[in-house]
Structure 1
Amino acid sequence: MVAACGLPQLGPNKRQIFAGSVQKQGDAFVVSVNDRVTRATAVAPAFGFSSSFSSAGLVTSDIIRPGDVLGLTIWENVDDGLLANTGVNATPIQEVQVDSAGFIFVPYAGSVRASGNTPNELRELITSRLRDQTPDPQVEVRRVAGDGSTVSLSGKIGGQGVYPIERPTRTLSAMLAKAGGITIEASIAQITVIRGDQRGKIWFQDLYDNPRLDIALRPGDRILVEEDSRSFTALGATSQQARVPFKSQNLSALEALAQVGGLVATSSDPTGVFVFRNEPAEIANPVLGRKDLQGAQRMVYVLNLKEPNGLFHARDFVIRDGDTIYVTEAPYAQWTKTISLIAGSLTPVASVQTLTGG
């Protein structure tokens, strides 16, 4: 009767999984994990910046750009000048913004190209324009509100917004600090820089471990701080069955099992820890010792934690985004269910006999 009804299961047992292998006319390759397999499958996301990002020099704060706000003061060597009031020979122009075409307007000097010039070069241009209007003019050009070159920061950061590229904030790390730093754990923070139609992504920790990744910013850069979106699924005889986010850049099978509370001591089979994955052909071929496979292959990796090197293999086997970790039940657990089912089926019969006096 028990055999006919079938016992409740968390999922397939080891025998059923092995029965679905390609070797037994199934559609998945079942592979035992060893040192060679751990090396062949140890693939982690490769982030970084292209040469166009890393070779860009620092933006100099001396060059005027569209959007800059400038202050001007013009001195005239006459009592009754073009711009100044009677008795005053200095005329301050508090704020003038460089327009999108790169020009500013100065009375009596007209439209003057400011973009691309230093403040001193702009001063000479304005002076030469005014020299024909008033004798020996003197001009001062100064910045009022920092650079017009800006970058935007969004995502998991202290202060989202648009920030000017100023002398102290010309690099990625400095700009992140200016915006209040990240608001998520450093181990799972990813930084994306979008520049035109190009983008580069790095781990936040790598930004400080590798100074070459602290790139110089460019006007219009968009910086996005995100939490690592990778996850794996844990099923079977584990303390937790759930979709679990990664907690570090690299995650081993042993760490993944620890994240879900480990194996259930009373029901799990440490010889039947399986990792299900769609493996690209460039990895599946070396794992299987073949060269003819094309496209993604269904792979089932088997970890036996009771082997002498089983824990080492689990420690070295890298879990990747989308993996499913499945732990089978121990035969003892099935035997316990059988006994419980038999004992449970006898209890009502005994109760009926007691009531009838049989």
Structure 2
Amino acid sequence: MKSSMNSSADSAPKRVLRLAAIGAAGTLMSACAALPGMNMQAPSAPTTSTTSEAAQPSAQVPIAEIDIPLIKQMRDAERDTASSASLLVAPSTPYVLGTGDVLNITVWDHPELAAAQFSAPQSAPRAADPVAGFVVDEQGNLTFPYAGRVHVAGLRADEAQAALAKSLTKSFVEPQVTLRVASYRAAQIYVDGEIHSPGPQSINDIPMSLYEAISRAGGFSPAADQSRMVLVRGGTSHAINLAQMLDRGQNPSDIVLKSGDVLRIPARDESGVFVMGEVNKPTTAMPMKNGRLTLADALAQAGSVSTTSSDPGHVYVVRDTLADVPKVFHLDARSPVSMILANQFDLQPRDVVYVDTNNLVRFSRVLSLLMPAINAGLTAGILTK
């Protein structure tokens, strides 16, 4: 009787240990069936479903393979898309006078008229004050002794000179007049962003081309993104890709800026690409100085894929994450030849590059998550014994 009680008492802890082991094994097997990770698979064909299920939108996102036909298709689409910079190409025109311009006028053999333009006191001149001379008023008129008011706005300097000489014939015989612009103040543009000297730039008799505006502003800073410049004109933004224009044989000097234009040069870090997953150094990859950033460049900036934990067969690029249907591209990089495709696949700003985990590392991570629970169960069984 006593021995049977002892045997039943001894069997209780064994049953606890057995149940704990069976539970841990069952948990392990169920976890192995669904290994954690961000493994992305191409959506399979839908099976039979009810009417209510068919009415619901699918949560799956189509995945496109990165191959030569896809790269050719993307390059053809980029080539066929007309650049908005072509809308800005216009022939240069001579400078015309406008409100605020300061004119230096000389009437030969009449030195008394020259004193009129220096009569204004210059006791405490400021940087914004005009130089000495005759200022074109808000109505576009020039007031000159013996000539009265002469409308010069919208005229070239030589045309304004002829108009003033004609008005002076009322008081002088064949007056010899010289007119030049002492200060250009009627037309300005504004250059902002990654430029050495941002700020307003006055338009003068030299046409304000794109290169001229950048040169007057001190040139690009090292962080400038020359491929995503923006020109705002009349409330409309026009994208300018300087590197693309040069590749196509287009002269950026053909883009002539007009008064009121705003030219902005963004920084390259505004167009970064996020590289994450099983890479040696997750980072935000920056475009090159020409604005391009390929998939191979992004992986190189991230220290390449991890040789111990990555699955090179599952490299993904996620694009348009804020759109209703994002775009996902897949590259099988198990072969070194696939790097040719990666070097030709151009990334866009705010893309996400993700390198998936291999199954062995995923299984190892499952074990690391389950071992504390298994050890706790075994410890509880031992303590019960």
Shift of residue 341, structure 1, vs aligned partner: 6.0
Determine which of 60, 66, 76 is the counterpart of 1:33. 66
Closer/same/farther in 2, CA of residues 118 and 169 from structure 1, 3 Å limit: closer
Determine which of 256, 260, 276 is the counterpart of 1:216. 256
Whether 2:117 is the aligned partner of 1:93: answer: yes
Closer/same/farther in 2, CA of residues 299 and 58 from structure 1, 3 Å limit: closer
1:3-62 superposed Cα distances (whole Å, 9 cap, x missing partner): 27848977323xxx32x71525662223433322333345659684455521x222324x
Structure 2 gaps of 5+ residues are 1-23, 48-57, 119-132
Q: Paired residue for 2:93?
A: 59
TM-score, normalised with respect to structure 2:
0.69
Which amino acid is 1:11 matched to? G
Closer/same/farther in 2, CA of residues 220 and 212 from structure 1, 3 Å limit: same
8 A contact 1:152–1:163 mirrored in 2: yes
Determine which of 28, 34, 37 is the counterpart of 1:3. 28
Which amino acid is 2:93 matched to? V
Whether 2:188 is the aligned partner of 1:150: answer: yes
Whether 2:45 is the aligned partner of 1:23: answer: yes
Report the Cα distance in structure 2 between the residues aligned to 1:60 and 1:93, rounded to whole angstroms. 26
Q: Paired residue for 2:50?
A: none
1:123-153 superposed Cα distances (whole Å, 9 cap, x missing partner): 3333333333355544332221246332221
Alignment of 1:1-358 (within 5 A): 1=24, 2-3=27-28, 6=31, 11-13=37-39, 17-18=40-41, 21-24=43-46, 27-42=60-75, 48-49=83-84, 51-54=86-89, 56-61=90-95, 63-75=96-108, 84=112, 91=115, 93-94=117-118, 95-134=133-172, 137-146=175-184, 148-168=186-206, 170-185=208-223, 188=226, 190-206=228-244, 210-214=249-253, 215-228=255-268, 229-247=270-288, 249-277=291-319, 297-307=325-335, 309-337=337-365
Q: Cα RMSD between the aligned structures?
A: 3.8
Shift of residue 241, structure 1, vs aligned partner: 3.7
8 A contact 2:103–2:179 mirrored in 1: yes
* Higher deviation after alignment, 99-108 or 338-347: 338-347
Number of corresponding residues: 326
Shift of residue 333, structure 1, vs aligned partner: 1.1
8 A contact 2:196–2:218 mirrored in 1: yes
Report the Cα distance in structure 1 between the residues aligned to 2:272 and 2:29, rounded to whole angstroms. 39
Report sequence identity in percent.
21
Query: Tell me, what secondary structure is at the counterpart of 2:91?
Result: coil
Shift of residue 245, structure 1, vs aligned partner: 4.3
8 A contact 1:232–1:323 mirrored in 2: yes
Report the Cα distance in structure 1 between the residues aligned to 2:229 and 2:274, rounded to whole angstroms. 25
8 A contact 1:270–1:306 mirrored in 2: yes
Closer/same/farther in 2, CA of residues 161 and 334 from structure 1, 3 Å limit: closer
8 A contact 1:150–1:162 mirrored in 2: yes
Report the Cα distance in structure 1 between the residues aligned to 2:82 and 2:252, rounded to whole angstroms. 10
Structure 1 gaps of 5+ residues are 78-82, 280-294
* Structure with max Cα Rg: 2
Query: Tell me, what secondary structure is at the counterpart of 2:183?
Result: coil
Higher helix share: 2
1:166-191 superposed Cα distances (whole Å, 9 cap, x missing partner): 34453210221111011134555533
8 A contact 1:231–1:243 mirrored in 2: yes
Report the Cα distance in structure 2 between the residues aligned to 1:310 and 1:172, rounded to whole angstroms. 39
1:204-263 superposed Cα distances (whole Å, 9 cap, x missing partner): 434655453222232222222112433433332122445544445333222222222221
Shift of residue 106, structure 1, vs aligned partner: 1.3
Which amino acid is 1:213 matched to? P
1:311-350 superposed Cα distances (whole Å, 9 cap, x missing partner): 3333333333343322221122134335656777788899
Which amino acid is 1:37 matched to? L
8 A contact 1:190–1:203 mirrored in 2: yes
Which amino acid is 1:70 matched to? L
8 A contact 1:76–1:135 mirrored in 2: no
8 A contact 2:228–2:291 mirrored in 1: no
* Higher deviation after alignment, 176-185 or 202-211: 202-211
Closer/same/farther in 2, CA of residues 340 and 11 from structure 1, 3 Å limit: closer
